[in-house]
């Protein structure tokens, strides 16, 4: 068994989803370089020095320009996305620090994997893929079925993106996912389970004390939903259950509309307060004033808002198709229900919104910190263990 020399880690990031990881690696003196589609100034917010950042962000400005014209955006957005994707794929291998381990977000690693396969890199590197959700074709097939049941037309992801990710799954040395729920989907599509590592996503830093729920406060029947308003997030299921629920006095909805059809049933419901998309700081305040979070996902690799709810001090109701269900079960900080059962969701909502003693016990379990998630610092420690295992193979 040989161990790859420790020359640090190159993080390849699409859209800034792993800038916190890169920042933590830099604190430990292990970040060799950070490649991103975000502007340098955004990456620098995570404490990454400018000299370690390589940015390919000019397409973002083109996207912003297109967004000003809905007609042009509709006509050219897909083509621009494809150009941006292919450009970044070519950009990555030329900016890898030789001899480093490469960590890439799914969809951004094809270039370095092909360069390694073709012998273009100065030294063979270990490549670790990170993905925050289910196997891409498993997910596409699931969504096709769900949309068909609802009678909603859906455009399947282009074959280019599916084939690219499946190539990455095949040639990456390790695949890191946020939950056992997500891991099972890869195994079901033929990925070697020995190749998969599970590291839960952490909670955000602790907010100011006023953003933490008052544990002695009486229940108000106030439920909160945070996430895209889409079939994938199960908002249509929540809408169906809410129509017959008397326990919900108020539903706070935070997030962008992806599928307009799923919100139609609640448009005129006076109990629903539509907040749209909010900054995370404001989301934390809204969470702290609710009695419980609900996340009825049809598929969710993790669902980080669950750990955010725990930081705010409120329990969560999540489907067993949500990766964060593992955290809820581990902490006792809420209820996990069968995603196929509307009745179980209705009962879970009623219990957490009306049973003072049970709601309080969930809050106390959260406050005790048993099995809690430790944020990006803890995630990085787990990730470095995976890096060490991968290097030694």
Kindly report the average pLDDT of the chain as a whole number.
Answer: 89
Contact 31, 13 (CB under 8 A): no
Domain assignment present for 178: yes
Domain assignment present for 3: no
What's the confidence (pLDDT) of residue 69? 82
Lowest mean pLDDT segment, chosen from 81-90, 175-184, 236-245, 305-314: 81-90
Q: Let me know whether 74 and 175 are in one domain.
A: yes
Q: Which domain holds residue 329?
A: 209-368
Q: What confidence category does residue 302 fall into, taking pLDDT thresholds of 50, 70 and 90?
A: very high
- Look at 74 and 90; give whichever has higher pLDDT: 90
* Averaged pLDDT for residues 30-56: 92
Please tell me whether the overall predicted TM-score, pTM, comes out greater than 0.75 for this model: yes
C-alpha–C-alpha distance, residues 302 and 311, integer Å: 16
Q: Assess whether pLDDT exceeds 90 at residue 27.
A: yes
Mapping DSSP to helix (H, G, I), strand (E, B) and coil, where does residue 365 land? Answer: helix
Q: Let me know whether 20 and 82 are in one domain.
A: yes
Q: Assess whether pLDDT exceeds 60 at residue 172.
A: yes
Q: Let me know whether 188 and 48 are in one domain.
A: yes
Between vectors from CA 177 to CA 256 and to CA 378, what angle results, nearest 5°? 95
Q: How many domains does the chain have?
A: 2
Q: Let me know whether 265 and 142 are in one domain.
A: no
Q: Let me know whether 284 and 308 are in one domain.
A: yes
* Averaged pLDDT for residues 174-201: 95
Domain assignment present for 4: no
Mapping DSSP to helix (H, G, I), strand (E, B) and coil, where does residue 316 land? Answer: strand
Q: Assess whether pLDDT exceeds 80 at residue 100.
A: yes
Q: Let me know whether 192 and 255 are in one domain.
A: no
Q: Let me know whether 128 and 145 are in one domain.
A: yes
Q: What confidence category does residue 374 fall into, taking pLDDT thresholds of 50, 70 and 90?
A: low
Q: Assess whether pLDDT exceeds 60 at residue 319.
A: yes
Q: Let me know whether 220 and 194 are in one domain.
A: no
What's the confidence (pLDDT) of residue 371? 43
Domain assignment present for 31: yes
Which residues are CB-neighbours of 338 under 8 A, at least 6 positions away?
Answer: 319, 320, 344
Over the stretch 243-287, which tens digit does the pLDDT of each residue have? 999 999 999 999 999 999 999 989 999 999 999 999 989 999 999
Percentage, residues of the chain above pLDDT 70: 93
What's the confidence (pLDDT) of residue 348? 98
Q: What confidence category does residue 141 fall into, taking pLDDT thresholds of 50, 70 and 90?
A: very high
CATH number at residue 113: 3.40.50.2000
Q: Let me know whether 24 and 156 are in one domain.
A: yes
Q: Let me know whether 197 and 85 are in one domain.
A: yes
Contact 146, 209 (CB under 8 A): no
Q: What confidence category does residue 165 fall into, taking pLDDT thresholds of 50, 70 and 90?
A: very high
Q: Assess whether pLDDT exceeds 50 at residue 104.
A: yes
Q: Let me know whether 248 and 342 are in one domain.
A: yes
Domain assignment present for 1: no
User: Closest Cα to residue 298, out of 318, 272, 314, 326?
Assistant: 318
Over the stretch 201-244, which tens digit does the pLDDT of each residue have? 765 554 444 445 565 678 999 999 999 999 999 999 999 999 99
Mapping DSSP to helix (H, G, I), strand (E, B) and coil, where does residue 236 land? Answer: helix
Q: What confidence category does residue 182 fall into, taking pLDDT thresholds of 50, 70 and 90?
A: very high
Q: Let me know whether 190 and 326 are in one domain.
A: no
C-alpha–C-alpha distance, residues 390 and 10, integer Å: 15
Contact 105, 92 (CB under 8 A): no
What's the confidence (pLDDT) of residue 203? 56
């Amino acid at each position: 068994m040989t161990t790859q020399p420790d020359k640090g880690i190159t993080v390849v990031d699409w859209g800034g989803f792993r800038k916190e990881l890169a920042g933590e690696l830099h604190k430990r003196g292990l970040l060799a370089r950070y490649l991103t589609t975000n502007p340098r100034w955004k990456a620098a917010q995570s404490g990454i020095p400018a000299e370690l950042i390589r940015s390919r962000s000019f397409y973002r400005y083109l996207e912003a320009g297109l967004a000003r014209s809905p007609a042009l955006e509709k006509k050219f957005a897909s083509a621009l996305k494809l150009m941006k994707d292919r450009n970044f794929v070519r950009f990555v291998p030329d900016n890898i620090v030789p001899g480093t381990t490469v960590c890439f977000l799914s969809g951004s690693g094809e270039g370095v994997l092909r360069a390694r396969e073709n012998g273009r890199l100065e030294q063979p590197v270990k490549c670790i893929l990170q993905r925050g959700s289910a196997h891409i074709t498993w997910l596409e097939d699931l969504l096709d079925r769900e949309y068909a049941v609802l009678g909603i037309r859906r455009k399947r992801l282009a074959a280019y993106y599916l084939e690219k990710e499946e190539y990455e799954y095949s040639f990456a040395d390790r695949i890191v996912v946020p939950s056992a729920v997500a891991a099972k989907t890869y195994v079901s599509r033929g990925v070697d389970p020995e190749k998969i590592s599970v590291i839960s996503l952490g909670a955000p830093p602790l907010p100011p004390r006023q953003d933490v729920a008052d544990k002695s406060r009486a229940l108000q029947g106030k439920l909160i939903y945070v996430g895209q308003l889409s079939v994938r997030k199960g908002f249509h299921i929540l809408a169906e259950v809410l129509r017959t629920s008397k326990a919900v006095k108020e539903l706070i909805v935070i997030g962008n509309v992806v599928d307009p059809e799923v919100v139609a049933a609640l448009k005129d419901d006076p109990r629903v307060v539509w907040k749209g998309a909010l900054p995370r700081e404001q989301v934390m305040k809204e969470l702290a004033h609710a009695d419980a979070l609900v996340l009825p996902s049809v598929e969710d690799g993790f669902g980080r808002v669950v750990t955010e709810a725990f930081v705010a001090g409120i329990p969560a109701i999540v489907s067993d198709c949500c990766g964060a269900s593992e955290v809820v079960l581990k902490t006792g900080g809420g209820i996990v229900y069968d995603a196929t059962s509307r009745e179980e969701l209705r009962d879970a909502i009623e219990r957490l919104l009306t049973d003072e003693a049970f709601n309080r016990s969930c809050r106390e379990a959260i406050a005790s910190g048993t099995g809690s998630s430790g944020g990006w610092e803890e995630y990085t420690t787990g990730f470095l263990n995976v890096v060490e295992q991968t290097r030694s193979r």
